[in-house]
Amino acid sequence: MGWMADETGLGKNDANFVSLTPLSYLQRAALVFPDQLAVVYGDHRKTYGEYHARVSRLASGLQKIGVQSGDVVATLIPNLPPQAEAHFGVPACGAVLNTINTRLDVDTVTYIFSHGEAKVVMADPQFLQLAKDAISQMDGPTPILIEVADDFAGFPASGEHMTYEQLLASGDPKFEWIMPRDEWESLALNYTSGTTGRPKGVVYHHRGAYLMTMGTVVSWRMVMNPVYLAIVPLFHCNNWNHTWLMPLIGGTWVGCRDVSAANIYNAIANESVTHFGGAPIVLNLLVNATDEERCDLTKTIEVFTAGAPPAPATLEKMGKLGFNVTQVYGLTETYGHITECLWNDDWNDLPADEQSAIKAQQGVAMPMMEHCTVMDEAMVQTPMDGKTQGEIVVRGNTVMKGYLKNPEATAESFKGGYFHSGDIAIQHPNGYIQIADRAKDIIISGGENISSVEVEGVLMAHPDINLCAVVAKPDEKWGEVPCAFVELKAGITPDGDALIAFARTKLAGFKTPKQVVFQELPKTSTGKIQKFELRTIAKGL
């Protein structure tokens, strides 16, 4: 019968209302771009017609092994074609996709399997033991394990479990997809990092992912048939939703198992990559690449960067290489990026260092967002004076449904009608937001607030530094003082006094690091520096 019309005859019906979902993109692409190259990884090269058929087989195969609408299908897979196919195939059978961080420990993966109630787990051979160990520690029902081989990279199947290709072979390429009747239906389940406790399960809906991708096309200035290199892990905000986006404009998705400067430059040279996203650590890889690793860029490549505020010096170097970097900002709870440093052509005549400083700002709300701003604790807009600090709060359709099985945390995060990010920022007179710090990363020295981001930005301008992070070190006199952890470029002799002297030329004395520690920085799989580990080290210095 369809939707019931109201008494005016102007109600919703099947002809004028269809629930928004990114699944529609691949359905359309199979008809409009059937011969267009859709997915590339090594010798795996599939057109949109083939991509759609494989996704349909996956949905059908999952249904045949007992997956029903609303069930959770988890993955432990790098950025490979099966992980991209799962983004469409899992929801196409009505299930919810749970992509899991492949660098987590067994205990946390066990918790995620149990908390999310995974019905099936698809695991790459590299992470098969992790999946098996996690399943063995579960209480209650355990998921079916499917092994996803990667022969191209030397990770063949063990032979112990049904393989992904066997699952696809059992499926019907003409399987009728189960499209959401309600666009609020759950599409994906993503877990936060859980650095201060158990990770929280963030639930996405179909509507949010659809609108996220539409807004990204506008903000990234995308045209038809881009070539997108998947560097951002597909377990991180579902690759910032970019994998769902590609069929919308007939793009080619290029897989990347291991992120390195050589692999990125090779993809640029061999596959004519036009777009990619990555954390600032990825930008550092590219600017510090050797001549043997690097290739000359024949055209400007568009880059989204997020995860941490990039150093202006790094952005300036990227620009000289031919990359146009746009700083964006977001969280797992917002499907990824929700603000952009939208460029104003009036800034083109500014000196390069001033342009880079502007590009390091998080900017303004992207088109799909309703409102992103900075407020104080009373939920009052802070003055847009470039110095008054407050918390970034957001509202819009690309904010999560909430935290799975955690109504208290959900209510707390949504208090006052906005999602509370926990990020401390200032807002400039033009409305552009600039992160000062995470609330927990602010250093309070003698009653003065010190932004670790500001100190890091200064240090990253030093030619000997590859990467750095600044955290609070306990101090008897001042309470806390800045402590810098530094990764040097190859062949450089450590000289902490010289770095402190360099910082003092650009910072007030109380902001200058009082100690420099040289070591490799602990990082998440998405390139974020794990400052909680560095704070622990600093407490013992």
Share of residues in the chain with pLDDT > 90 (%)? 81
Q: Answer positive or negative: Cα dihedral of 274, 275, 276, 282.
A: positive
Instruction: Name the segment(s) of the chain with CATH classification 3.30.300.30.
Output: 442-539
Share the mean pLDDT of the chain.
93
User: Please, which residues have CB within 8 angstroms of residue 245's CB and are 6 or more apart in sequence?
Assistant: 22, 25, 213, 216, 217, 251
Instruction: Name the segment(s) of the chain with CATH classification 3.40.50.12780.
Output: 209-439
Mean pLDDT over 32-42 rounds to: 98
Task: Give the pLDDT confidence of 428-479 residue by residue, as tens digits.
Answer: 999 999 988 676 787 878 767 788 888 998 999 999 999 999 999 988 778 7
- The per-residue DSSP string of 360-410 comes to TS-BEE-TTEEEEEEE-TTS-BPP-SSS--EEEEEEETTS-SEETT-HHHH
Q: So what's the pLDDT on residue 344?
A: 95
Instruction: Return the CATH number of 46-179, one of 3.40.50.11390, 1.10.8.60, 3.40.50.980, 3.30.70.380.
Output: 3.40.50.980
H-assigned helices in 170-279 = 206-219, 237-240, 242-245, 261-271
Helix/strand/coil for 5? coil
Find out whether 358 and 394 touch, Cβ atoms under 8 Å: no
Query: What's the rounded Cα separation, in Å, for the pair 297 and 268?
Result: 8
Query: What's the rounded Cα separation, in Å, for the pair 418 and 424?
Result: 15
* Burial class of residue 477 (count of CB atoms within 10 Å of its CB; 0-12, 13-18, 19+): exposed
In the chain, the amino acid numbered 442 is: I
Q: So what's the pLDDT on residue 60?
A: 98
Superfamily of domain 442-539: ANL, C-terminal domain (3.30.300.30)
The angle at the Cα of 401, spanning 335 to 10, to the nearest 5 degrees, equals: 105
CATH of domain 209-439: 3.40.50.12780
Count CB-CB contacts under 10 A for residue 77. Answer: 27
Whether the pLDDT of residue 2 is over 60: the answer is no
Query: What's the rounded Cα separation, in Å, for the pair 232 and 528?
Result: 12
Of 172-176, 227-231, 254-258, 530-534, the one with minimum mean pLDDT is: 530-534
Which residues is 380 bridged to in the sheet?
A: none
In the chain, the amino acid numbered 149 is: A
- The per-residue DSSP string of 36-74 comes to SEEEEETTEEEEHHHHHHHHHHHHHHHHHTT--TT-EEE
Q: So what's the pLDDT on residue 1?
A: 43
Query: What's the rounded Cα separation, in Å, for the pair 370 and 141?
Result: 41
Q: So what's the pLDDT on residue 48?
A: 98
- The per-residue DSSP string of 274-300 comes to -EEEE-HHHHHHHHT--TTT----SS-
Q: So what's the pLDDT on residue 6?
A: 67
- By C-alpha distance, which of 176, 177, 149 is closest to 163? 149
Query: What's the rounded Cα separation, in Å, for the pair 48 and 406?
Result: 39
Mean pLDDT over 213-224 rounds to: 96
Residue 526 tokens, joined:
């998405």
Helix/strand/coil for 339? strand
Query: What's the rounded Cα separation, in Å, for the pair 432 and 331?
Result: 18
Q: So what's the pLDDT on residue 313?
A: 85
Task: Give the pLDDT confidence of 42-86 residue by residue, as tens digits.
Answer: 999 999 999 999 999 999 999 999 999 999 999 999 999 999 999
Task: Give the pLDDT confidence of 243-263 residue by residue, as tens digits.
Answer: 999 999 999 999 999 999 999
Phi, psi of 399 (to 5 degrees): -110, 140
Instruction: Name the segment(s) of the chain with CATH classification 3.40.50.980.
Output: 46-179
